[in-house]
Amino acid sequence: MPPTGDDDASTLTEGQEVPAPSPAPDEAPTTVEGATVVAESVDGPAAVGGTGQAGSDDTSVEVGVDEPTPAEAVDATDTADRSAGSETTVGAVGAGAAVGAGATAPVGAPVAVAVLDRDDEPRELEGPEESTRGRLLRRLLGDDTLRLGSTPRERLTGWLWPLAVTALAAVLRLWDLGRPHTLVFDETYYVKDAYSLLVNGFEATWGEDPNPAFEAGDTSSLTDVGSYVVHPQVGKWLIALGIQLGGGVGSSAAWRIAAAVCGILAVLMIARIGRRLFASTALGTLAGLLFAVDGEAIVMSRISLLDPFLMFFVLAAFGALLLDRDQARRRLAERTARRLDAGEELRDGPRLGVRWWRLAAAVLLGLALGTKWSALYFLAVFGLLSVAWDLTARRSIGVRHWWRAGILKDGVVAGVAMVGIALVVYVGSWWSWFTHRQSYGRLWAEQNPDQGVLWLPPALRSFWKYHQDMWGFHNGLETPHSYSSHPLGWIVQWRPTSFFYPTEVSGLTGEAAQDACGASSCSQAIVALGNPVLWWCAAAAIIVALVWLFRYRDWRAGAVLSGLVAGWLPWFAYEHRTIFTFYSIVFAPWVVLTLVYVIGLVVGPKDLDPRERRWAIIGSGVLVALIVAVSAFFYPLWSAWIVPYDFWHSHMWLQTWV
């Protein structure tokens, strides 16, 4: 169902005729002074293109119609966003007609409001004109969002269901977390570096072949000589915290507990983010469930690499920006209403003051940068997305030069604040490198007084030189690897990364194999493979979301695709270097959100005829059940069970997975 979008700013002046589709037999026209509008059925597209109107979307403009005054724009209230999960649909609100086109009415005039209540019976209400603030809130946020959490029961279930799927995620991630008790894949770098940070305060070198001793709890081969590392320290500090609190270096579960906790909390975050994004507890819980059972999310929560921490921080930043969007729009509605009710000119609209959630997002993005540099793309994309939300908000309240006002009053401030704070947090995350002179490269400026950026203080000059070396390493990493993959295949998990397949198990024969797995040959694997049904369906859902974004200007489509733009597309510029499919864990939350978004479109809003929704709900339920069943089937290969070779081979659906 194409949305009507709560950012819609299309308006019509009083007395202008609004073309509308012919009403169905059970639809009654809503009459507003000077215009007659029939609210379209909720399963059809929003009115697009009417007389003098370029479209009913976020970027619609008036063609051939005099621009309304700010007060008229406020009165011309559009349809509330019909995202899935709504309990009522307002046919016409305030003094305006619904479905993407508005019509003004004199102040104080009675208005007709067509409402579908929970029994799906339309009723006609007449009452005094809604307040300016109320009309603005409906325009800026939509009825579904305004109803979200409006009752104690809804607030309770809004937490209970997300917590339930989080509990499931905890079981899948924490169960026998220490298996295998060996450093897996790049844990050989990050876990040992984390322990070195804990002991020395900086990453130091180790002696010859330190892994077997380290796995046995022997760390005597750690030196006090700085080691050249190519990633920032935040993720490694979190691993170190897990080692400190989880039982020490001798516990492989302690190596991984920090990644597991972040993976569990990510499920709770995506459930709550989905609830707010889609204005539906059911869809938010579904997003949490799908992420809880996804194979890549499970594997990357059971292995101590940096990518799960990066995913955690950028997802948290996205959630903070969603909260900022709602809070800023409520503030904008309140301050604009006061100005208009006082008879003042709207001009460029009010300033919105300190945006604390936006600042929190900047801090989180700074921590993400302090984990891996690829967070820089999220900083850019999320910053632009937040400013775009501000621009459409000012246009929706009737600001004539909304683009100028949005850029000057919101965009410039947002850019300086977000980039500045993220940069400060990033540099601050290297505090231990600055405070320990034994850190690799810390004394470069003192040893090379006539080189580098000479106007910088010595410590920062060394810091800059170190970053130049790190960039050269990352951009030039072309070491062949059997599991490297092109980013085009990531979205369908074409070449998943095999983290663990020990010959000690696969080489067992005879009685030893029977004892280990009950068969003549055995396998033990950790494959970072996303649930194939989920990812394949999500790949198709991306196409649908793109259509809804560009055809219907649905802001939710832009939101769910933003993480893919930031986390996936930039890697196409680095296809020449050695890269892996497991990098996709960073944008996996948005893969899930995109699929859930399209499921919401298929199911439609609650006010549809139950018969029209029944088969869509059944079909969606079957798909979800299939995804959960496939996850149960693959879980042994995600969590290093020792299984018969034939069982492992039955999971290799594609030759590229072997």
3-state secondary structure 247-270: CCCCCHHHHHHHHHHHHHHHHHHH
Residue 529's contacts (CB-CB under 8 Å, 6 or more residues apart) are 295, 296, 299, 493, 496, 634, 637, 638, 657
Same domain, 376 and 454: no
pLDDT score of 255: 97
Q: Are residues 447 and 425 in the same domain?
A: no
pLDDT band for position 37 (50/70/90)?
very low
Sequence-separated (6 or more) residues with CB below 8 Å from residue 21: 38, 40, 44, 47
Q: What single-letter amino acid sits at 43?
A: D
Whether 639 and 526 have beta carbons less than 8 Å apart is answered as yes
CB atoms within 10 A of CB 223: 13
At 26 the pLDDT is 40
Token duo for residue 573: 């510029």
Taking the C-alpha atoms of residue 414 and residue 463, their distance in angstroms, rounded to an integer, is 27
Mean pLDDT of 628-635: 98
Give domain status of residue 357, yes or no: yes
Residue at which a domain ends, from 435, 461, 494: 435
Report the b/e string of 574-588 with b at 16+ CB within 10 A. Answer: eeeeebbbbbbbbbb
Cα–Cα distance between 583 and 595 in angstroms, integer? Answer: 19
More confident residue, 165 or 345: 165
Interhelix angle 234-246/307-341, rounded to 10 degrees, is: 110
Q: Which of 469, 476, 482 is nearest to 580 (CA)?
A: 482
Mean pLDDT on 625-648: 97
Peptide bond into 350 cis (omega under 30): no
CA angle 635-504-636, nearest 5°?
5
Residue 200: inside a domain: no
Question: Which one, of 6, 103, 111, lies nearest residue 50 by Cα?
Answer: 103
Say yes or no: 336 and 374 in one domain. yes
SS3 content of the chain, % helix, strand, coil (to 5): 55, 5, 40
pLDDT of residue 478: 75
Looking at the structure, tell me whether residues 430 and 449 fall in a common domain: no
Q: Say yes or no to pLDDT of 68 above 80.
A: no
d(CA 320, CA 323): 5
Q: Do the domain assignments include residue 643? A: no
What angle (nearest 5°) sits at the alpha carbon of residue 598, between those of residues 619 and 271? 95
Q: 315 with 420, same domain?
A: yes
Calpha distance 580→300 (Å, rounded): 13
Task: Give the confidence band of 232 by pLDDT, cuts at 50, 70, 90.
Answer: very high
pLDDT tens, residue by residue, 486-520: 999 999 999 999 999 999 999 999 999 999 999 99
- Which alpha helices (DSSP H) does 438-531 contain, by range? 444-447, 458-476, 503-506, 510-517
Residues 12-34: tens digit of each pLDDT: 233 333 333 434 434 343 333 33
| Predicted confidence (pLDDT) at residue 554 exceeds the cutoff of 90 | yes
What size, in residues, is the chain? 658
CB 229 within 8 A of CB 202: no
324 plus 380 within the same structural domain: yes
* pLDDT of the residue at 126: 40
Residue 576 resides in a domain: no
Query: How many domains are there within the chain?
Result: 2
- The structure tokens listed for 600 are 């919401």
What is the reported pLDDT for 576? Answer: 83
Among 435, 457, 484, the domain boundary falls at 435
Q: Is residue 341 part of a domain?
A: yes
Residues 6+ apart with CB under 8 A from 446: 458, 462
Helix or strand or coil: residue 110?
A: coil
Do residues 313 and 430 share a domain?
Answer: yes
Same domain, 407 and 462: no
Nearest to 489 by CA among 654, 251, 643, 289: 654
Structure tokens at 97: 């007609």
In this predicted structure, the answer to whether residue 455 has a pLDDT above a threshold of 50 is yes
Judgement on whether residues 426 and 310 belong to the same structural domain of the protein: yes
Give me the pLDDT at residue 610, please: 81
* Mean pLDDT calculated for residue range 44-53: 34
Around Cβ 119, how many Cβ atoms within 10 Å?
A: 7
Q: Which range marks the domain in which residue 404 is found?
A: 306-435
Question: pTM of the entire structure?
Answer: 0.81
Domain boundary among 410, 435, 460: 435
Tokens of residue 11, six digits: 């308006």
Tell me if 286 sits within 8 A of 274, measured CB to CB. yes
Does residue 50 register a pLDDT over 80?
no
Q: Select from 344, 321, 342 the least CA-distant residue to 410.
A: 321
Per-residue pLDDT at 129: 63
Residues 386 and 464 reside in one and the same domain: no
In a domain, 21, yes or no: no
Same domain, 363 and 429: yes
Q: How far apart are CA 259 and CA 239, in angstroms?
A: 7
Domain assignment present for 472: yes
Q: What is the pLDDT of residue 5?
A: 42
400 and 429 part of one domain: yes
Q: Is residue 589 in some structural domain?
A: no
